[in-house]
Amino acid sequence: MLIGGDGLAQGYLGRPDLTAEKFIASPFVDFVEAGERVYRTGDLVRWRSDGRLEFLGRIDNQVKVRGFRIELGEIETSLGNHADVAEAVVVVREDIPGDKQLVGYVVLKAAATATPADLRRHVAASLPGYMVPAAIVICERFPRTPNGKTDRRALPAPDSSASARDDLVAPRDELERRLVATWEDVLGIRPIGVTDNFFDLGVDSLTAARLFARVERDFGAELPLAPVFRAPTVSALAELLRGEDDQTRRWSSLVPMQTQGSARPIFGVHGGAGTILLYQQLSRQLGDDQPFYGLQFAGLYGGEAPDLSIEAMADRYIAELRQVQPGGPYTFLGYCFGALVAQEMALRLMDQGEEIALVATLNGPSMSYINKFGGEIPPDRELPESKAVKLRMAASRGPIAVGLLLAGSAFRRARKPLVRRWRNWRFDRAYRSRKPLPDWLREGQLIQRICLRAQNRYRPRHGSFPVAVFRAPDLYHYDDLGWSEHTDGPVSAFAVPGEGQDVPRSTMRDPYVAFIADRLRELIGETAAVTRSG
């Protein structure tokens, strides 16, 4: 949030460096006079559709832990809301190299009796699992800097008794001990209890693929993703591995992510990597009354041969979703490549006389957009280090450094086509085999190639169904990503907040995914009203 206007101060007294950092030229050049300044408050806010500003926290106190951007102030506020807490501070510690953990420090009120486990449960009730501190240390008082602020660097490291979780359930047999060791090794999170929820640990899709592949290799069992959503803990997974129910282990592209509720189901189609784990937070944000099913790439974790065309994928997914919803109206979501599959599913169901309530696309360009721009996001920033910068840095170190730089560049240029040919040979061999994917391709390499080929060969027909386009802000050429050229139905376009190096994917995470959930609920309510009136 930036503030400006006639009441803006001139700057910080005696601090020209801080003034230059915080008082900047207004970026709103179309609305203000030339030279007008604004103040960078450091507050992160969201402008809601009803015109209100929602305070999300401080951007100068953000951290990144296991791929998630976390606002420490939100956790501190949650801790501070506990009736027994007088002061609260949260920091990121890396006492074990490579193992970043959130640690909370609290000063309790007089006669307070709250324990670290009580405080963790309190935070977990209002924040996602990846924002719950791994340890909470109760202090008599906080160390202070000379100017009276909390000295975060002087906070003590949690000892074994402070970091031990009262709610941690230890493994009860050898199978659970092996599973906990596997989870801790792959996820890089310690300690993990047998009742800890897989999705609350902040796991991304690639890490999940590595974990499933590791469990299959170490335990000699195939793990379709559907049972994992029903059993997202070590104890439940151990029961699944002990069982011999072939029906439970049967592969299915249809994954139930939220089965409760009376509303019509939403079916989320995978992106180019084949996984539907990116829908996990969205399925939760939509609420307990909204059923949500994911459609994952056939053979992602083994068991089935992959489909090689969008048409074949659509046929498979339609056959499977009809087991849950035999008739329309249908609601689809498609992330990136999945938008094209959702489009083909809608077209085929309409040919069968079914009604399509909505096709929502999440950073999913249409074929007309792909044909014009190759599906690429236009560059909005320069590379952090250009070749000229690297050359100048090498020149400052002497002629030997320049020679090594040039020799390395020449070697990479000569090696690149050879590596490309070798990879193409491996991919093409696996592609033509039409067999279940080998372990070394489970993380999306071949899947992305299959999806790209299917995309290049896809020629969609014109349809007539409502489309909602959700896209990362200011990263695409057109607001609707060309979808108005593919349907006669209404097209709604929304710019979803997001940040970081991977802006499109960050839109599917807290707190930005809440924006998508809010708009989807509104759109689904509107389409349901139209269906009832019709």
Alpha helices in 153-307 (DSSP H): 160-163, 174-187, 205-219, 225-230, 234-242, 246-249, 280-285
> What's 487's DSSP letter?
B
Say if residue 258's pLDDT is above 70.
yes
pLDDT of the residue at 246: 46
Domain annotation for the chain: domains and CATH numbers: 2-41 (2.30.38.10), 61-163 (3.30.300.30), 169-250 (1.10.1200.10), 252-373+436-534 (3.40.50.1820)
pLDDT of the residue at 502: 45
Say if residue 247's pLDDT is above 50.
no
For residues 493 and 101, which has the higher predicted lDDT (pLDDT)?
493
pLDDT of the residue at 361: 92
pLDDT of the residue at 443: 45
CA distances from 466 to 261, 290, 489 (A): 23, 19, 5
Give the pLDDT confidence of 362-397 residue by residue, as tens digits: 888 888 888 776 544 443 333 334 455 566 666 767
Structure tokens at 455: 């995309």
pLDDT of the residue at 346: 94
Cα separation, 61 vs 69, in Å, equals: 10
**Lowest model confidence (mean pLDDT) among 237-241, 268-272, 304-308, 415-419:** 415-419
Give the pLDDT confidence of 196-218 residue by residue, as tens digits: 776 666 555 556 667 777 777 77
> What's 478's DSSP letter?
S
Structure tokens at 483: 């979808």
Say if residue 50's pLDDT is above 50.
yes
The closest alpha carbon to 121, from 132, 110, 106, belongs to 132
pLDDT of the residue at 99: 64
What percentage of the chain reaches a pLDDT higher than 70?
A: 71
How many residues are recorded in the chain?
534
Give the pLDDT confidence of 58-114 residue by residue, as tens digits: 666 667 676 566 778 888 888 988 989 999 999 888 776 666 778 899 999 988 888
Give the SS3 label for residue 29.
coil
Say if residue 301's pLDDT is above 70.
no
pLDDT of the residue at 505: 59
Say if residue 317's pLDDT is above 90.
yes
Give the pLDDT confidence of 138-193 residue by residue, as tens digits: 898 898 888 788 888 888 887 644 445 556 778 888 888 888 888 887 776 677 88
Q: What is the mean pLDDT of residues 422-444?
A: 54
**Lowest model confidence (mean pLDDT) among 59-63, 270-274, 286-290, 527-531:** 527-531
For residues 439 and 237, which has the higher predicted lDDT (pLDDT)?
237
- pTM metric for this prediction: 0.56
pLDDT of the residue at 341: 94
Give the SS3 label for residue 521.
helix
Give the SS3 label for residue 95.
strand
What mean pLDDT value characterizes the chain? 76
pLDDT of the residue at 179: 86
**Lowest model confidence (mean pLDDT) among 86-100, 220-234, 375-389, 511-525:** 375-389
pLDDT of the residue at 72: 83
Q: Does residue 192 contact residue 167 with C-beta atoms inside 8 Å?
A: no
For residues 213 and 313, which has the higher predicted lDDT (pLDDT)?
313
| First CA to last CA distance, the chain | 44
